[in-house]
Amino acid sequence: SFYSWWQLCLGNNRCDCLPQVSKRCAVIGGSGFLGRHLVEKLLDRGYSVSVFDIRQSYELPGVTFHQGDLCDKQALLSALKDVSLVFHCASPAPSSDDRLLFERVNIRGTQTVIQACLDAGVQKLVLTSSASVVFEGTDVKNGKEDLPYAKKPIDYYTQTKIEQEKLVLEACNKPKGFLTVAIRPHGIFGPRDPQLVPTLVDAARQGKMKFIIGDGTNLVDFTYVENVVHGHILAAEHLRADSPICGKPYHITNDEPIRFWDFMSEVLVGLGYPAPRFHLPYTLVYGLALLLLLLTWILRPVMSFKPTFTPMRVALAGTYHYYSCEHAKEHLGYKPVVSLKEGIARTVASYPHLRRGA
């Protein structure tokens, strides 16, 4: 009957059986890892997309590229023409560790993004923040969104992600018709990720992945990229003046915390490398990482090198950091769409060139 057909459509939370209405949105950072996955899903869902990024990494029908720096308001304005919804997922890579660059792009650049949205008449802004905004290098177990921002963030990246999130959430202004929300993912992984798997394999190839830091029981969230995308789109589609999500942050995870070292081992073994086996005390490795960092600073005038085990990575590898996504379930109707097991299998299969011996 018509009624049961309609119920089926509603139950799917999206109607695949009706033609999708064309909607226009912009993805700032749309050439990056998360950004491109987001763009692909938005196209699937009937959106046309304007990508704004400092580089263009692909071409797709339905996507218009605007190359530029998000600190340049005029450049942003041409990408935001006729756009009512903006996703902001651009950031310098956390490993760049460049304070001035983070401050320029994540803080002043985000102020420029907000101003450009207001000037262009954009109605909704969805920010990709990070669950790390509450992480100080010590255990976070099932952390909820009401945890205070880190007073001592572990690095400049996190420090500027905190300021960025505050700016976007404070810009939410119902009377002006400008609504904002922040998604806080954690440990995103999946095909085309330039960070997690490549760093891991690089360390394994150099023989540095033999050791487990600490006792190896610390639980962590790793979130498959399609779940992060799903959380962003749900947030955008639930963002209305009468919704409780306006001006709020939401954790998006796989809702399956896993031991950090089990996750690393599954990826490594999947790619043909041995799993780490020998334990090293956390404080010893953290101390060594600090020492190494000091050495890179002292030697900077004569030589430069990038250590694999930075204090930030050691803290992430040796502590608990997993977050509750109950609020996203309640307010956004969020539920992970790809399990951790399936996500790892798809990720491993997507990196044939990183397999041992390739």
Ligand X SMILES: NC(=O)C1=CN([C@@H]2O[C@H](COP(=O)(O)OP(=O)(O)OC[C@H]3O[C@@H](n4cnc5c(N)ncnc54)[C@H](OP(=O)(O)O)[C@@H]3O)[C@@H](O)[C@H]2O)C=CC1
Binding flag, residue 199, ligand LLCNDLXC (CB under 6 A): yes
Q: Which does 262 bind (CB under 5 to 8 A by kind): ligand X, ligand LLCNDLXC, none?
A: none
Cα distance between residue 134 and residue 144, in whole Å? 10
Q: Which residues of 37-49 are buried (b: 16+ CB within 10 A; e: fewer)?
A: bbbbbbeeeebbb
Please provide residue 223's backbone torsions phi and psi, each rounded to the nearest 5 degrees. Answer: -120, 125
In the numeric block, which tokens belong to residue 58? 């692909």
Q: Which does 253 bind (CB under 5 to 8 A by kind): ligand X, ligand LLCNDLXC, none?
A: none
| Residue 250 and residue 327 in contact, taking contact as beta carbons nearer than 8 Å | yes
Cα distance between residue 30 and residue 40, in whole Å? 10
CB closer to ligand LLCNDLXC, 47 vs 135: 135
Binding flag, residue 203, ligand LLCNDLXC (CB under 6 A): yes
Per CB under 6 A, the list member of 50, 110, 130, 160 interacting with ligand LLCNDLXC is 130
Instruction: State which of positions 86-105 bind ligand LLCNDLXC (CB under 6 A).
Output: 94
In angstroms, what CA-CA distances link 323 with 116, 120, 240? Answer: 32, 35, 25
Binding flag, residue 201, ligand LLCNDLXC (CB under 6 A): no
Per CB under 6 A, the list member of 26, 126, 200, 229 interacting with ligand LLCNDLXC is 200
Q: Is 334 annotated in the active site?
A: no
Least spacing, CB of residue 195 vs ligand LLCNDLXC, in Å: 5
> Among residues 47, 58, 156, 157, which one is catalytic?
157
Number of continuous H segments (helices) and E segments (strands) in the chain: 13, 15
Instruction: Write out the residues near ligand X by the rule CB under 6 A.
Output: 29, 31-35, 53-55, 69-71, 89-93, 105, 109, 128, 130, 161, 185-188, 194-195
Cα distance between residue 289 and residue 155, in whole Å? 14
3-class SS string, 305-329: CCCCCCHHHHHHHHCCEEECCHHHH
Please provide residue 349's backbone torsions phi and psi, each rounded to the nearest 5 degrees. Answer: -65, -25
Per CB under 6 A, the list member of 39, 90, 183, 196 interacting with ligand LLCNDLXC is 196
Least spacing, CB of residue 20 vs ligand X, in Å: 25
Residues designated catalytic: 157
Binding site for ligand LLCNDLXC (CB under 6 A): 94, 130, 132, 187, 195-196, 199-200, 203, 308-309, 313, 316-317
